[in-house]
Amino acid sequence: MFELDVRSRKPIYEQLTDKVKELIMHGILRADEQLPSVRALSSQLTVNPNTIQKAYRELEREGYIYSLQGKGNFVAALQQGQSESKRAELKEELLRLMAEAVYLGFTETEISSLYRQALDMRREESSHD
Amino acid sequence: MFELDVRSRKPIYEQLTDKVKELIMHGILRADEQLPSVRALSSQLTVNPNTIQKAYRELEREGYIYSLQGKGNFVAALQQGQSESKRAELKEELLRLMAEAVYLGFTETEISSLYRQALDMRREESSHD
Amino acid sequence: MFELDVRSRKPIYEQLTDKVKELIMHGILRADEQLPSVRALSSQLTVNPNTIQKAYRELEREGYIYSLQGKGNFVAALQQGQSESKRAELKEELLRLMAEAVYLGFTETEISSLYRQALDMRREESSHD
Amino acid sequence: MFELDVRSRKPIYEQLTDKVKELIMHGILRADEQLPSVRALSSQLTVNPNTIQKAYRELEREGYIYSLQGKGNFVAALQQGQSESKRAELKEELLRLMAEAVYLGFTETEISSLYRQALDMRREESSHD
DNA sequence: GTGGTCTAGACCACA
DNA sequence: GTGGTCTAGACCACG
């Protein structure tokens, strides 16, 4: 489920947070679903437990998951205010990439096609119940 | 022309490379145009010359600029093979962001609008001759 | 293991990268083997850590080594696509030197003998397990 | 006759010396033949005269050319002792490259073929009288 | 412990 | 004048 590239320049804990966010966004991880325990994930990925811990704490800070003492970590439902600020952030980043896209000659059609591709992927994955 | 955020997590030299790339992509910096000298930029931004140097060498490695012995650093023209691999990279990154966009409820219209906005920005800036 | 000529025109960091490449090519350094830490090599060679760092990053860029976060630098296995372009480069350089060799009266036999010498060196060194 | 790459990392004066040596070695420039004047070459290549001057002085130092006051620069004949030390230098460099060749999987046949290629090139060029 | 970034300031090579 | 290299030494991020 989680694939890490230990040789990457991106810190392992960040690869983990990004991956979890992605799984949530694609609808693969649902609200209130339990995440693997720190120890389980640590031994499965052969990664230092502190690193897993750091990733989970970061996800909690950003509001993607919540932790119940002694029970584990669970996926949080998307909240309103959160959603707004995330939209604004994403918009900025998208605009930056669009500028690159224009520079490299992408057409509007190509961009739209990418959007639909993402849409389809979400539909498929959400249906795997 | 260059603004830095010294408190950012992103290294200064990386902020610089990103900024220069952006300026090139927006057509503000033209092919064969001379960049500020290492020393000039260093004193202007009150940043160590080594840091500027590092940014310039990184940009050279990536093919965005070239350096002439004892003359300075200059904007490189976009090359063919390079362009292809950059397009592929960008496509992947765009797809990743599109998935987020879908998750946060962006519509295809909003995405298209962002693309056109980027297009307009390039047009405007390129016309400042 | 590493010998530097501080009086050479060739920059120290380049002497280092060349030496490491040579050790890898001769099979003395094996894939996934750990290189001396930046600090260790720095004090051993009485060379500034930054210089070692620069050499290691250059080697990473060229695909000869990889760096693991907080663990150290390791020898990378030779990759396919990389190998092709390196072969082409080497071929050009060899052709240039062959022209010199012809000018200076080297015979085909002498050239072949040099090739076998290199072959033998690699065999010997690789067997030191 | 001389092609320079001003964007190269190799200093222009060094590109010049290498090119002249190559022309001599390939038999295109013959002993006692006159080289272009500093001024002529300077304006032809749009390169600073000092740079040409530096290249010629370097070639003279290494024994490839000699200069006659007020007459110009001329190709020197290859001398005995010189030839010996150059052979030794070249042998070392060839051995280094052969090690790379072995590493990248070149066969003895390929190497021999490169040698013959160089031999043929010299034959052809020498015949253009 | 590891590598990565940055500053301050010196010296050299090139054009 | 330009960029390129190097040292000395500090601080941070990662695991």
Instruction: Give me the pLDDT at residue A39, please.
Output: 94
| Residue B59: exposure state from Cβ atoms within 10 A (0-12, 13-18, ≥19) | buried
Cα-Cα-Cα-Cα dihedral sign, residues B87, B93, B99, B103: negative
| pLDDT tens, residue by residue, D19-78 | 999 888 878 899 999 999 999 999 999 999 999 999 999 999 988 999 999 999 999 987
| pLDDT tens, residue by residue, A40-55 | 999 999 999 999 999 9
**Domain spans in chain A, listed from the N-terminal domain onward:** 12-75, 80-127
Give me the architecture of the B12-75 domain, per CATH: Orthogonal Bundle (1.10)
Closest residue of C to A7, CA-based? C68
Under DSSP, is residue B93 helix (H, G, I), strand (E, B) or coil?
helix
Contacts of B66 in chain D (CB under 8 A): 7
Give the whole-number percent of chain C exceeding pLDDT 90. Answer: 70
Query: How far is the C-alpha of C54 from the C-alpha of C76, rounded, in Å?
Result: 17
User: Does the structure show a pLDDT above 70 at D129?
Assistant: no
Contacts of A12 in chain C (CB under 8 A): 69
Instruction: Give me the pLDDT at residue A126, please.
Output: 67
Instruction: Give me the pLDDT at residue C1, please.
Output: 74
Closest residue of D to C110, CA-based? D91
Q: What is the DSSP string of C12-41?
A: HHHHHHHHHHHHHHTTSSPTTPBPPPHHHH
**Nearest nucleotide by C1' from A10 CA?**
F14
Instruction: Give me the pLDDT at residue B81, please.
Output: 77
A95: nearest CB among B90, B91, B117: B117
User: Does the structure show a pLDDT above 80 at D79?
Assistant: no
- Under DSSP, the state recorded for B105 is T
Under DSSP, is residue B26 helix (H, G, I), strand (E, B) or coil?
coil
User: Does the structure show a pLDDT above 80 at A79?
Assistant: no
| C94/D101 Cβ within 8 A | yes
User: Does the structure show a pLDDT above 90 at B38?
Assistant: yes
Instruction: Give me the pLDDT at residue B3, please.
Output: 86
| pLDDT tens, residue by residue, B52-98 | 999 999 999 999 999 998 899 999 998 777 788 889 999 999 999 99
- How far away is chain C from the Cα of D25, in angstroms, using its nearest Cα? 5
Query: How far is the C-alpha of D66 from the C-alpha of D62, rounded, in Å?
Result: 10
| B99–A contact, CB cutoff 8 A | yes
In the structure, how far is the CA atom of residue A67 from the C1' atom of nucleotide E14, in angstroms? 62
User: Does the structure show a pLDDT above 70 at A87?
Assistant: yes
- How far away is chain A from the Cα of C68, in angstroms, using its nearest Cα? 6
Contacts of A11 in chain C (CB under 8 A): 69
- Name which of A116, A88, A87, A114 is nearest A101 in CA terms: A114
| pLDDT tens, residue by residue, A17-44 | 999 998 988 788 999 999 999 999 999 9
User: Does the structure show a pLDDT above 80 at A128?
Assistant: no
User: Does the structure show a pLDDT above 60 at B129?
Assistant: no
Give the whole-number percent of chain D exceeding pLDDT 90. Answer: 72
Cα-Cα-Cα-Cα dihedral sign, residues C113, C116, C122, C127: negative
Mean pLDDT taken over chain C = 91
Residues in chain A: 129
| pLDDT tens, residue by residue, C67-106 | 998 899 999 998 777 788 889 999 999 999 999 999 889 9
Q: If you average pLDDT over residues D6-27, what whole number do you get?
A: 90
The set of residues, in sequence order, having a beta carbon less than 8 Å from that of D87 and lying 6+ positions away, is C104, C105, C106
Between C127 and A16, the more confident residue is: A16
Under DSSP, is residue D98 helix (H, G, I), strand (E, B) or coil?
helix
How many CB atoms are located within 10 Å of the residue B7 CB? 5
Between D85 and B106, the more confident residue is: B106
Residues in chain C: 129
Query: How far is the C-alpha of B3 from the C-alpha of D14, rounded, in Å?
Result: 39
